Amino acid sequence: MSLSKLCTIVLCFGLLFTLGAQAQRRDPDKRDLHGINPKNHKYLFTVLGGAAAGAGLGFVLPGEKTPLKLMLMGGGAGSTWYLHFHRNALGSFHDMAMIGGNTALGWGIGWLGCNCRDGAYAGSLLGGGLTAGWEALHNDRAMQNSFRRARSAVERKRSKEQEEAAAAVRRRNQNSRPATTSPAPQLEH
C-alpha cells in the first residue's frame, strides 16, 4: 500500500469519526450569530460588496467572462477604497491587503482591457508591483528627506533665477525711461 493511499484512508476515517462528535450540547439560537454583522467586519463586507456589484454589472454588460473580470475589479477597488480611508485597518496586514487588492484590481483591468491572458498577467503584476513599491517607500524617512532637500534646492535655484529676472526687468525699465524734465507750464483760463 502506497503512502498516498494510506494518508487518504486515515483522512477518511478521521472525517468519518468526527461526524458523530458533538461540538456543542445546546441548541443553536441567536447568540450563535452574535458578532456576525457588517459593522464588525467592515473590510470583508466592503470587498464582498464591491465584488458583488462588479459581478452584477458584468452580467448586464456583454462579453465573455465579463462578470468575473468586473468582480475582480470591484473587489480590488472596494479593498483599496476601504484601506485608503482606514489607515489602521487590519493592523500589520494593511500593506499586504493593499497589495492584494490592487493586484486584483489590476488583474481585472488588464484582463478586460485586452481580453487575453497576457493582459491579466500584466495588470496583476503592475497593480501588485507598483503598490508594493509605494507601500515600501511612502513611509521611508530617508527618501522623504532627500526628496525635500532636492525640492528645496530646486526652489532656491528657481527663486534666485526669478530675483535675477526681476532685477533685469527693473534695470531695463530704468534705462528705457526718458530723462525727466521740468513739467510743462499749465495755462490758466
State residue 15's pLDDT score.
Answer: 74
Distance in angstroms (rounded) separating the CA atoms of residues 169 and 176: 11
pLDDT of the chain, 189 residues: tens digit per residue: 788 888 788 887 777 766 555 555 667 777 766 666 656 678 888 888 888 888 888 888 887 778 888 888 888 989 888 888 888 888 888 888 888 888 988 988 888 888 888 888 898 899 889 888 888 877 767 766 776 777 777 777 777 788 888 888 888 887 776 655 566 666 665
Instruction: Answer whether residue 123 is part of any domain.
Output: yes
Whole-number pLDDT of residue 65:
79
32 located within any domain: no
Q: How many domains does the chain have?
A: 1
User: How far apart are the C-alpha atoms of 130 and 117, rounded to whole Å?
Assistant: 20
| d(C-alpha 91, C-alpha 97), whole Å | 10
CA–CA dist 72, 158 (Å, integer): 46
Segments forming the whole domain that contains residue 87: 40-140
The reply to whether 8 falls in a domain is: no
Find the DSSP H helices in the chain: 3-19, 42-60, 66-85, 94-114, 117-137, 141-176
The verdict on residue 173 lying in a domain is: no
Give the DSSP letter of residue 179. P
| pLDDT value of position 158 | 77
Considering the entire predicted model, what is its pTM?
A: 0.54
C-alpha cell at 185: 507750464
CB atoms within 10 A of CB 71: 22
Handedness of CA 172, 174, 179, 180 (dihedral sign): positive
Phi, psi of 125 (to 5 degrees): -70, -40
Answer whether residue 147 is part of any domain: no
